[in-house]
């Protein structure tokens, strides 16, 4: 299993020269380290893009969460923990994988490779992970999920003190959160090209992330999935008892799913523009993807064909062009209810 994961990860970093036979002088396996660093790079891009989207669009979200811009990682997720620590720079069990640019975490001078030791003086090893609410998480993700939840609650009340260690020296830093739109973001290691929204989490597969030509294209797909979550499409479809599985491809269910896809496409370009991404990248990405893949996973009967989707993007971009932005931003009608 792990070998297959490394193999697909290696495809991500294949542009880098590989020395397959010999590891570096430290005795760690070079291919594994390269794969881990490649995955960390994707995690960092995803974290930066997600943060920018939820931060810039905060004025239009009625529900907000306190956020730092940190992405944490549990070394227990890796088959070879020693190699993972070496590659990612941690010396403990929970490390900082990514720090979003212009985020509170960056202001607090936290950086990837720092080890997280405590939150408000509570050692991370003392944080309970047997909460029933965490039971739907895979066991190796429970600790990070518990820490994220504790952090989110603590941040909602006040500034938080994080104790970290870097190069063997520990220090405690205050971190002041910002309120943003809700949502979490993750790269899913997978050989398929897919992106999903489960109501809370936006996931992009590592193979799809590798296909993007720019952060703007990356942001186009993240913004589409985030739009599903902000518009609460999953709850809506569940309450209408829409079948999202195979039978969802037929009849009424298909039409309802298609309606949510149209909304997500329409909102996505507004979210992008407000975050400083070029909304035309949505047009560019889906045109390129559509021409190369035609009847791919994104063009089942529940999704519009790519030419139709491109037309939706163009319509929304034209609406923004006709508006006077306020503080460089365009209030999305789908979030403000002004449509």
Footprint on this chain of Zn ion (rule: CB under 5 A): 261, 264
Is the CB of 175 or the CB of 264 nearer to Zn ion? 264
CA–CA distance from 129 to each of 79, 90, 178, 273 (Å)?
A: 21, 21, 26, 39
Nearest 5°: CA angle at 88, between 77 and 36?
65
- Neighbouring-strand partners of residue 53: none
User: What CA dihedral angle connects 306, 312, 313 and 316, to 10 degrees?
Assistant: 180
Residues 6+ apart with CB under 8 A from 296: 193, 289
Nearer to Zn ion by C-beta: 156 or 297? 297
Closer of 43 and 261 to Zn ion (Cβ): 261
The full 3-state SS of 49-81, as one line of letters, equals HHHHHHHHCHHHCCCCEEECCEEEEEHHHCCCH
Q: How far apart are CA 76 and CA 68, in angstroms?
A: 23
Least distance between Zn ion and beta carbon 191 (Å): 21
CA angle 152, 154, 159 (to 5 degrees): 110
Cα(83)–Cα(187) distance, integer angstroms: 20
Least CB distance from residue 331 to Zn ion, whole Å? 22
Task: Give the CA distances from residue 84 to residues 46, 76, 113, 206, in Å, rounded to whole numbers and listed in that order.
Answer: 20, 9, 11, 18
What secondary structure letter does DSSP report for 328? T
What gap in Å lies between CA 117 and CA 115, rounded to an integer? 6
Nearer to Zn ion, 47 or 229 (CB): 229
Between 82 and 198, CB nearer to Zn ion? 198
Nearer to Zn ion, 9 or 264 (CB): 264
| CB 204, min distance to Zn ion, A | 12
Q: How far apart are the first and last CA of the chain?
A: 49
Beta strand segments in the chain, E? 65-67, 70-74, 94-99, 115-119, 122-123, 160-166, 169-175, 178-180, 184-188, 195-197, 201-205
Q: What are the Cα distances from residue 69, in Å, to 111, 191, 207, 216? A: 11, 27, 24, 19
Q: How far is the CB of 43 from Zn ion (least distance, A)?
A: 22
Task: Report the nearest approach of Zn ion to the CB of residue 197 (Å).
Answer: 7
CB nearer Zn ion, residue 31 or residue 261: 261
Instruction: Quote the least distance from Cβ 291 to Zn ion, whole Å.
Output: 20
| CB closer to Zn ion, 114 vs 261 | 261
- Give min distance, CB of 264 to Zn ion, in A: 5
Shortest Cβ 228–Zn ion spacing (Å) = 6
Q: How far is the CB of 265 from Zn ion (least distance, A)?
A: 8
- Residue closer to Zn ion by CB (options 207, 309) is 309
């Amino acid at each position: 299993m792990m070998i297959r994961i490394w193999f697909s990860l290696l495809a991500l970093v294949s542009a880098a020269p590989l020395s397959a036979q010999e590891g570096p002088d430290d005795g760690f396996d070079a291919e594994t380290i390269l794969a881990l660093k490649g995955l960390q790079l994707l995690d960092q891009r995803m974290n930066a893009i997600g943060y920018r989207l939820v931060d810039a669009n905060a004025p239009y979200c009625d529900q907000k969460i306190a956020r730092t811009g940190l992405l944490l990682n549990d070394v227990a997720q890796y088959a070879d923990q020693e190699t993972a620590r070496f590659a990612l720079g941690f010396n403990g069990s929970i490390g900082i994988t990514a720090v979003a640019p212009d985020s509170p975490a960056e202001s607090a001078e936290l950086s990837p490779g720092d080890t997280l030791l405590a939150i408000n003086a509570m050692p991370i090893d003392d944080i309970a992970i047997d909460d029933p609410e965490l039971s739907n998480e895979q066991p190796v993700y429970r600790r990070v999920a518990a820490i994220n939840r504790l952090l989110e609650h603590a941040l909602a009340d006040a500034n938080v003190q994080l104790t970290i260690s870097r190069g063997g020296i520990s220090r405690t830093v205050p971190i002041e959160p910002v309120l943003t739109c809700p949502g979490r973001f993750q790269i899913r290691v997978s050989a398929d090209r897919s992106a999903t929204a489960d109501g809370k989490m936006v996931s992009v597969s590592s193979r799809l992330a590798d296909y993007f030509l720019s952060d703007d294209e990356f942001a186009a797909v993240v913004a589409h999935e985030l739009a599903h979550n902000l518009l609460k499409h999953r709850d809506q479809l569940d309450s209408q008892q829409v079948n999202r599985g195979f039978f969802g491809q037929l009849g009424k269910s298909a039409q309802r799913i298609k309606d949510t896809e149209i909304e997500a496409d329409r909102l996505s370009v507004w979210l992008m523009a407000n975050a400083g991404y070029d909304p035309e990248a949505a047009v560019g990405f889906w045109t390129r993807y559509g021409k190369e893949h035609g009847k791919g996973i994104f063009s089942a009967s529940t999704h519009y064909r790519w030419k139709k989707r491109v037309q939706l993007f163009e319509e929304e971009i034209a609406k923004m062009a006709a508006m006077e932005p306020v503080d460089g931003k365009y209030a999305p009608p789908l979030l403000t209810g002004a449509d």
